[in-house]
Structure 1
Amino acid sequence: MTSRNDIERLFKAHYAKMHRLAVALLHDEDLACDIVHDVFAALLSGDMRVAALADADITLAGGYLLKAVRNRCLNHIRDCEIHQRIANRYFLDNEEYDTEDWPDDETIARIYALIKSDISSQARKVMELRFSEGMPFARIAAAMGISETAVYRHLSHALTVIRQKLNENEQ
C-alpha cells in the first residue's frame, strides 16, 4: 500500500505538471484543481490501486498520474458534452420553450399516456431511470446493458415522439 508520505512526495513532484495538463484540457483553473485533487484523494483513499507507485521510479509514477488526470478530464468533457447536447436539443434550441410556462396537470397526464402507448418498452425504461430515478447516462447504460449513445438515442426518440404528438393535439 502506498503510504501517505509516498503520496505527499508524488504530490510535490508532479502536481504542477498535472495541473497544467488539466488546465490545458479543460480551460478552467478551478475545475483543473478539483480534478487533480480528486486523483490524489483517490490515491489516499485507496480507490486507485497504486501499490507499485511507492517503489516505482518517480518518472514512471508521474506518467501514471498524468494519465489519470487526462482520463478524468476526458470523462468530465464527455459527460458535459452529453448533458449539453440534451439541453440544447430539448430546451435551449426550442424557441417556443418558456421556463415560466410549465405544463399543467392535463398536459402531464397526456405525456404519461403517450409514454405508455407510443414509446417502446426500452425507451420507456430509459426515461424512467433518467427522469424518475435521476440516474446519469453511464449508470443507465450499465444497468440496461446498452451504450451511452443508445441511452441518448432512446431519450431523443422518445422526446421527439412526445413533442410531435403534443404539437398535433394543440393544432
Structure 2
Amino acid sequence: MSHRNDIEQLFRTHYLAMHRLAMLILRDEDVARDIVHDVFESLLTAGLTDVSAQYLLRAVRNRCLNHLRSLSARERIKELYAIDEREIADDEWPDDDTIAQIHSTVANGLTDACRRVVELRFTDGKSYKEIASTLGISEVAVYKHLRHAIDVLRLKLSQNG
C-alpha cells in the first residue's frame, strides 16, 4: 500500500476518537476538526504511517493544549466557559461581580488540592508539568483537577447568571 493509502486508512480508523478527544478539550467543532486534520497532515508530511492509536490521541491532546496556551486570557475564559461572543459585551465582561464570584467559588467551592492547582495555573501561570512537579502529582491529575474546577465554576456561574 502507498504512503497516502496508509494515512487514509489511519484517518478512517481513528478520526472519530481523535475528534471526540479534541471536542472534549476544546468544545469548538471547527478548531477540533482543524487540529485533527493538522495531525494527519503532519503524518503525511513526515512520512509516518506506522503509528499507534495512543500516538495519534497524544498528538491531538498536545495540539489542543498548545492551542489553549496560545489564546489570550480573555479568549481562555471564553473557551473554558463555552461563552458565545454575542452573549457578552467586550468591555463589560467579565465584570467585577463575575470575577468576585469566580474567586469566591475557587476559595470556598473547591477541595484544597483542586484550589492549589487552579492557583498555580491561573495565578502563577505555571504549566501542567510545573504544577505536577511542584505538587508531586501527575500531569493527568493536574488536568483532572482543572477540569473539575472548570465544571464547578461553569455550574456556579450558570446558576447565578
TM-score, structure 1 as length reference? 0.48
Cα distance in 1 between the residues matched to 2:89 and 2:132: 29
Paired residues of 1:115 and 1:124 also in contact (CA < 8 A): yes
The match for 2:115 is 124
Q: Counterpart of 1:138 in 2: which secondary structure?
A: helix
Identity %: 37
Q: Which runs of 5+ in 2 are unaligned?
A: 1-40, 47-57
The count of aligned residue pairs is 102
TM-aligned CA deviation for residue 111 of structure 1: 0.8
Equivalent residue, structure 1, for 2:84: 96
The answer to whether the 8 Å contact 1:26/1:77 transfers is no
User: Structure 1 residues 147, 26: CA separation in 2 closer, same or farther (over 3 Å shift)?
Assistant: farther
After superposition, where does 1:43-122 map in structure 2 within 5 Å? Answer: 79-84=62-67, 91=79, 94=82, 96-97=84-85, 100=90, 102-122=93-113
Does the CA-based 8 Å contact 2:128-2:142 persist in structure 1?
A: yes
Q: 1:94 to 1:166 in 2, by over 3 A?
A: same
- In 1, the alpha carbon distance for the partners of 2:81 and 2:125 equals 23
Moved more, 97-106 or 75-84: 75-84
* 1:139 Cα deviation from its structure 2 partner: 0.7
Number of the residue aligned with 2:128: 137
Opposite residue 82 of structure 1, the aligned amino acid is L
* Contact 1:141–1:148 (8 Å) recurs in 2: yes
- Report the AA paired with residue 97 of structure 2: E
Displacement of 1:148: 0.6
Cα deviation digits, residues 6-43 of structure 1 (max 9, x gap): xxxxxxxxxxxxxxxxx965959xxxxxxxxxxxxxxx
Shift in CA distance, 83/119, structure 1 to aligned 2, threshold 3 Å = farther
* 1:168 maps to 2:159: yes
Relative to the length of structure 2, the TM-score reads 0.51
Aligned-partner Cα distance in 2 for 1:93–1:163:
6
AA aligned opposite 2:154 = R
- Residue segments in structure 1 that go unaligned for 5+ positions in a row: 1-22, 29-74
